[in-house]
Amino acid sequence: MFKEGLRPAWVEIDLKALENNIKIIQSRVSPGSEVCGIVKANAYGHGVLECVRVMERNGIRNFGISTLSEAIQLRKAGVQGRIIMLGLTPEMYVDTVVEYNIMTGFADISYAKTLSEEAVKRGKVVEVWGVVDTGMGRIGYQAKDPQAVEEIFAASQLPGLKLAGIFSHFSTSDFEDRSYADKQERRFNHIREALMEKGLSFYLCSLANSPATMDRPSSHFDLCRPGGIFYGRYQSGVTLVPGIQPVMSIKANIVQLKNVPEGFSVSYERSLITKRPSTIATLAMGYADGIPRPWWEKGKVIVNGQYAPFAGVICMDQCMLDVTDIPNVQVGDEVVVMGRSGDLFIGAEDIAAGVGTIGNNITCGCDVRLPYLYLE
List beta partners, residue 336. 251, 302
Instruction: Tell me how far apart the alpha carbons of residues 151 and 129 are, in angstroms, rounded to a whole number.
Output: 11
Cα torsion 170, 194, 127, 208 to 10°: value is 20
275 as an active site residue: the answer is no
The tally of CA atoms less than 13 A away on the side-chain side of residue 247 is 32
- Catalytic one of 40, 111, 251, 300: 40
251 as an active site residue: the answer is no
Residue 45's nearest CA partner among 285, 316, 338 is: 338
- What is the three-state SS of the chain? CCHHHCCCEEEEEEHHHHHHHHHHHHHHCCCCCEEEEECHHHHHHCCHHHHHHHHHHCCCCEEEECCHHHHHHHHHCCCCCEEEEEEECCHHHHHHHHHCCEEEEECCHHHHHHHHHHHHHHCCCEEEEEEEECCCCCCCEECCCHHHHHHHHHHHCCCCEEEEEEECCCCCCCCCCCHHHHHHHHHHHHHHHHHHHCCCCCCCCECCCHHHHHHCHHHCCCEECCCHHHHCCCCCCCCCCCCCCCCEEEEEEEEEEEEECCCCEECHHHCEECCCCEEEEEECCCHHHCCCCCHHHHCEEEECCEEEEECCCCCCCCEEEECCCCCCCCCCCEEEEEEEECCEEECHHHHHHHHCCCHHHHHCCCCCCCCEEEEC
Instruction: Tell me how far apart the alpha carbons of residues 40 and 68 are, in angstroms, rounded to a whole number.
Output: 10
Q: Are the C-beta atoms of residues 8 and 1 closer than 8 Å to each other?
A: yes
- Catalytic one of 121, 198, 268, 298: 268
Instruction: Tell me how far apart the alpha carbons of residues 36 and 103 are, in angstroms, rounded to a whole number.
Output: 12
Residues marked active site are found at 40, 268
